[in-house]
Structure 1
């Protein structure tokens, strides 16, 4: 798998939100207003996941984890992460399979990421259970729980690196404005939001 070519200097409606200077502090759920630019929303969601990983690391190493961080991460795992995975598997990945060219070898990349998702499906419930115990007033994590959390963080960080290096660049390169408009609408529907009065990628 090679990096997506031809991204330098790319302008127009598919410009990444990373270039707009509107980046949040990643300490709250990704702003739904960004759904008008779905690739920007994905980019921000990935930054948010990275911040969640930092919180999980602090929880794993603290003798007495901060209750705010425990509750915050639990909310992310229960409410935000499932939506993000559905966004990718039900909408973004199928669009990429349709639009990418054979030399892009996007199918191999997506197969790897879907495999990562299945691994995350298995890793997430024990992490949630450990955090829920802490939230109910339990002591710090046990050695086994710490090991599970550390493994989860390592897997997630590797997953994010691959997505940011391969998936998002190819999405910016290959998806059409019509694709992005459809992606935006689907992601909004998944969150129970109506059509915006005006969208960045209307085709």
Structure 2
């Protein structure tokens, strides 16, 4: 039986579908799912006797091609829109600050994670205990960010952001990735 795209995506191999840009919160939700999958792959790499080269490549591609632009989607558009649309009583800024702290923790470790994985690909040398700890800590920061972003921010965004907000978010996400704007959004909430 031929594997479907969703099954392949769950493996962490496939990037998030650009078709979801028409519904930017769904796109962000899918990126969060992909991040969780990448964290699981990182955890496996951290404990593997001999890490799988394809898994290392998958993680590096995600870190180099998707992570930074996704963090910009949140920091430059989603977070400011939420602050604009939420009341003070909702304390959205406190949640955003918690997410940013986790992102900073991950970003601080990101250069070492990249070097560790690239060195493994280049030399095939075993990962050191320090390398393994760095990978585990990085995945921990990523997961912590995901819990708050996915469980708290996205549901609030779905209820607070306007169609115009979603259109702008979609356009900015596309531009950030070098894609042309779309004429009409579909499935916008």
Which of 47, 55, 64 does residue 33 from structure 2 map onto?
47
Contact 1:55 1:69 in 2 (8 A): yes
- Deviation, 1:197, is 3.6
Contact 2:23 2:170 in 1 (8 A): yes
Task: List runs of 5+ in structure 2 lacking aligned partners.
Answer: 1-5
Please report the TM-score for the alignment, with normalisation by the length of structure 1: 0.85
Is residue 171 of structure 2 the alignment partner of residue 190 of structure 1?
A: no
Contact 1:126 1:148 in 2 (8 A): yes
- How many corresponding residue pairs? 182
Which of 5, 9, 17 does residue 31 from structure 1 map onto?
17
Which residue pairs with 1:86 in the alignment?
Answer: 72
Please report the TM-score for the alignment, with normalisation by the length of structure 2: 0.91
Which of 84, 100, 105 does residue 119 from structure 1 map onto?
105
How far apart, in 2, do the equivalents of 1:150 and 1:111 lie?
22
Is residue 106 of structure 2 the alignment partner of residue 134 of structure 1?
A: no
Which residue pairs with 1:154 in the alignment?
Answer: 140
Higher helix residue share: 2
The alignment's C-alpha RMSD in Å is 1.7
- Deviation, 1:97, is 0.5
- Deviation, 1:73, is 0.4
